[in-house]
Chains A and B, each alone.
Chain A
């Protein structure tokens, strides 16, 4: 029976989380009904397709009416139109601002402009996210960007308070805003193996070390813009490669420290000057906006690729960087320790994560190959980074490796392929996979 009119309004607004997710994912009412039918809701309460359709319509209408409020979540708390219990409000907001990792990876570092918005259908097609959902996510990015752009105080805090998001989500948005503001290049082929979470981690490092906010916490845009003075100071580091004595001294200090701790000592020794030159040059060029954008590409090209060609393990990289960093403190003539630390803290952890990921992505392929021949074989090449990673990298990185492994669920790393009804669950899995849980199968 098709109704001319069919509404159901509860004093406490009734919302089904499953339908909400379908709505967020941009399903049409009819598609949502089909998905729900397949999900077996009908048996639950002896419902018919009519009932399901009417319920879905009602809920969609409710969500549409709520959407306006979700654009400024603080309004949701004191509006009078809908009586929604606080924990449901939190759920509504959190889910509304949750994004697909695959989608965000595509727009990360791009200007949040109309031009990008026009490309959303392509991105949608590429990532398997519906256009409607793409638009919502894009608009969310833009909205958050606009609001926090002019605010004083810490970026994450601001997002947290203005959009009432969970800490995790607020951090992710901070990363998105930060990347969009500085327009970091992330789309190059060489960076394709990196997930959003990898970049988010780097963004966290950058925000807490390189921005204005790292030194002064009551300025506008303190967490969004890099500290110009600091970038200027970085030029001073050139002395490390330009001064021959300093360079040799540094090299010997590093090599002494590394002796007996690694198998790749020779390669490290031969490459030292090259690598050091690479890192210091990156630092010195950061006054150029263009070079800031290429920061990640430079790190990959100047450091990670040479390491890869010498088959350093992630442990090697970590070890090398630690000593490379520490040894500088022993150089008596070097006067820029503070700047050096501020620079290296970020570079060290970023390179670590970039390298670990590369290791994994290749480890994965090696794992896949092995798997073909020998079932349940373990991959030794990718085990080492995992055992090393936690503890050493601290907070931000730790949770990247914490994801429990779940046998039987495989997703290619870095991209979430989504279809079908159990998306909300599967998405979590893909996140886990993206964080490196997968190789532990």
Chain B
């Protein structure tokens, strides 16, 4: 059954002058959905036209509703010649298809033209009437919620986590079609924008279908990417984690527990469907080590009281036979080993059973794109697993690379349909590798999983990485039999503050050489000496001191080559790059006297004549892990006095740096006497949590030992000038200025008292390598300086926010052209209260700003007018609103939908109104929360793709001016869409793509940007309102006026 889409064009403002003679415009609007087009009347001679059109109604399939965007085109009527386009607005109506998200889209949208940028604004109203679809064979998946947020969204509770969903769709890139030669750049850009919009709609729909099939109702950690493969096409792919989410009634939303604790969910499921699980205790022998009767009704005490009674989730209908999957290859060695490992086997098997229950996709890949988890979800963490593969996108050459591993891309016209399978197969291969790595680490799941590509001409590097982990199966199955067991296991041997650090693998049969000690916190189980992960620091983890951003940067020159030779050269370079990045990371970690990395992201970018590697992570000192040893410098040639002296000075510098860093990051671990520890660690040894492999090498032993052989790990040997330079470069990382912290995870470990100042920013730098014959060392230096200078620049620009922390610093590197290095950074600066820093330690769950204390009343610091200027605000309450972003924005959108005529009379009446029409303040953050606020509603996913092109680069201020404008335009369009949905913030915002091509000689440039995030309504934490209704509006409004007066 179809749905009915209704759109109304209200008005326009600030339109550009299209008629030079009159300095005015005769504007009208075309509204298009699918193949149906409506037109408004022409509004003659006005730059602020009022159309007030009728409702344009489109009767369409809900499949189309999901795929297609509503296309609003503003044109200038011309009697004698063709009408000129002013610009377009694409409105994604997906948020309207979900009952829990937005109900109406209404607001001012910037009118965007791919050549001229934003040209005025248009006020549009959109509604959807959806009829219930009972067709079992439907192709649509309306109602499945999508979240970019890589954790359980704030006002939901995870009833079930189903697992990995992925999909990709492929199409021909309009830019490379024959027709592109004869059409205008504008037409080509618009075709491309529209196609990608369609493709992502389709992709989302398909993923939604998979989720429904699995019995879920939502996708969290939705990550969608584009691969612009040039001639060979355009791939849109997405991964995510399917879940069944339950909305918490906002009245009972726990203020202090932002992480939902779904522990009660399985408990009640247990009582509802005990019969289902009766047949499951197949692996009973594994549970012998656990004891205690099943206590189905026992929930974690922390949450049961705060949660409202809820209806049990519907019984799951998808029970498949419990055939053994390939996961049964889990290390059998676990059985024979000590108690600790034996205990792991229980949940492992339960997971296995669970695996067999769920849909095929999940059975194949127990992957989770989540990076933050509900309490108790994560049991143990093994370490980072990653896989890379070099592929040729060539469609002429025959399969060449890695023997059987490469696939031929056939000619478009003949076998387009086959294409997705090829790409699917590529990714499947990589995922298999990841899975086997995880298995080798004794883990049954991969969390914090992500995939990426880097394309240069016809070569493509596919990468995937994640963190091997053991999860609590309660969230993945609806059975109950072992709930008591898991509870028991949780509460007894592994306190949450250190449990996840305990090794999941077998001590006697370690997958790699590792130095184990007993946990420094609980003293019962073994922990490794260093831990690398791709996830956020678990909220419950015990941390000493503060964390900091650690980056390893690397450039490698390579010869220019074509096709196969090129691909081979790249794949040969990759292991060395990973090794070096890893060494750098390890050394820098030691230098900061830390022992764990979170949020590790390694990006390897390929260019024509070089490879760039950038690894970013947040270093912390986990209290549970042993203290890191220092760094020892050793010379190759003992006896040489001057060399000895040199080494001594370097050694001294290193020791000084370590001492200084300890102070800087407040790392003062409690001294532990040796007898307390089971096995003291005199000299810890460096080894790797990092598994890597390449398509060619994956048939061999996959774990390449990245440790420094059998040598003492922290001895750095100076045997040549390169080594000296390496050490120097270690020491060149400038410390963050006082008052600043930085990390690439959601929040900074060790800072808990966030205040409400938030500044999200994007910065792009492109450096042109002038010197043609650069060495690797020279390149490294340039690259390092580029990154360091960027950071310094941020600190300087944001100095007014001190004390503040740069969170979720997301660096992306690219080699857009032969001599260019492009670094794109998106991050958020958040202020915090320095005074409260000290007193807060482990007593409070050190989580997100969501559980901020209530004393931080001051709301949008940077956007709130100070009292003096508030006086200049208009007396009417509506215009007072924009400074208050916790405003539940229905009112403002109502206001916006009835734009006042911009006449002289009005402006005479209003008292310093700044135009009188309020613009809702929309905050943006790459994090999943906004400090000091509570998210009361998710309005839907924002996923936008823009192309901007110019043929007058110099006139627009060069590439910098061009890109500056474009990024500002993208921000404004995101804000406008969010405001139109009724939201006041974007969380989990990210810029997935920022691809810039320039040709200064031709005075041309083109840029593609893809951004995504979740539109939300958030209110100040202190506002207690049951529903986002008028009551709350009144409340927030009065508080806003209170603030202003």
Binding site for B on A (CB under 8 A): 1, 3-14, 44-48, 50-52, 54-55, 57-58, 61-62, 64-65, 73-83, 85-87, 89-90, 151, 153, 157-158, 160-162, 164
Contacts and interface: CB of A to CB of B under 8 A. Distances in A.
Contacts of A3: 765-767
A50 B767 CA distance: 14
10 contacts: A5-B764, A5-B958, A8-B763, A74-B916, A80-B919, A81-B118, A85-B921, A87-B865, A90-B872, A164-B912
A45 B915 contact: no
A79 B111 CA distance: 12
Contacts of B759: 10-12, 14
The 4 closest A-B pairs by CB, nearest first: A77-B914, A87-B869, A77-B915, A5-B766
Interface stretch (B222-230, B844-852, B970-978): B970-978
A13 B737 CA distance: 23
Given A61-B960, A160-B912, A55 B864 contact: no
A110 B973 CA distance: 45
Contact of B789 (A1, A14, A57, A153): A1
Interface of B: 13-14, 108, 110, 118, 121, 734, 737, 759-768, 782, 785-786, 789, 792-799, 820, 822, 862-866, 868-870, 872-873, 882-883, 902, 904, 907-908, 910, 912-919, 921-924, 957-961, 963-965, 967-969, 971-972, 975-976, 996, 998
A162 B907 contact: yes
Contacts of B870: 86-87
A74 B767 contact: no
A90 B869 contact: yes
A77 B960 CA distance: 26
Contacts of A86: 865, 869-870, 872-873, 882-883, 914
A40 to B, nearest CB: 13
Contacts of A46: 734, 737, 792, 795
A144 to B, nearest CB: 14
If over half of B's interface residues share one DSSP class (helix, strand or loop), that class is named, otherwise mixed; here it is: mixed
B799 to A, nearest CB: 4
Contact of B964 (A1, A44, A58, A77): A58
Contacts of B862: 12, 85
A62 to B, nearest CB: 8
Contacts of A54: 793
Contacts of A161: 907-908, 910, 912
Given A5-B963, A7-B764, A47 B916 contact: no
Given A12-B862, A78-B918, 6 more contacts: A5-B959, A8-B797, A46-B734, A80-B108, A87-B866, A151-B904
A158 B908 contact: yes
A89 B914 contact: yes
A7 B972 contact: no
A52 B908 contact: no
Contacts of A79: 14, 919
Contacts of B14: 75, 79
Nearest to A161: B907
Contacts of B782: 1
A80 B110 contact: yes
A52 B796 CA distance: 8
A344 B706 CA distance: 96
A276 B972 CA distance: 66
B964 A61 contact: yes
A75 B797 contact: no
- Which of A10, A58, A77, A79 has most chain B Cβ within 10 Å? A10
A188 B617 CA distance: 71
Contacts of B820: 4
B915 A61 contact: no
A383 B734 CA distance: 60
B516 to A, nearest CB: 41
Contacts of A55: 793, 796-797
A79 B902 CA distance: 13
A76 B872 contact: no
B960 A5 contact: yes
A1 B786 contact: yes
B761 A51 contact: no
A39 to B, nearest CB: 14
Contacts of A8: 761-763, 793-794, 797
A151 B917 CA distance: 22
B958 to A, nearest CB: 8
B975 A83 contact: yes
B863 A12 contact: yes
A12 B885 CA distance: 13
Contacts of B912: 90, 160-161, 164
Contacts of A11: 759-761, 922-924, 971, 975
A81 B960 contact: no
Given A8-B797, A45-B796, A47-B796, A85 B864 contact: yes
A80 B922 CA distance: 11
Contacts of A64: 957, 961
Contact of B967 (A7, A50, A74, A75): A7
B963 A7 contact: yes
A82 B972 CA distance: 7
A61 to B, nearest CB: 5
A82 B968 contact: yes
Contacts of B734: 46
Contacts of A74: 902, 907, 913-916
Contact of A1 (B785, B795, B863): B785
Nearest to B896: A78
- Which of A9, A48, A64, A86 has most chain B Cβ within 10 Å? A86
Nearest to B13: A78
A87 B768 CA distance: 40
A87 B762 CA distance: 24
Nearest to A150: B904
B766 A77 contact: no
B915 A78 contact: yes
A45 B964 contact: no
B789 A80 contact: no
A78 B899 CA distance: 11
B793 A81 contact: no
Contacts of A10: 759-761
- Which of A51, A52, A83 has most chain B Cβ within 10 Å? A83
A81 to B, nearest CB: 5
Contact of B960 (A7, A12, A157, A164): A7
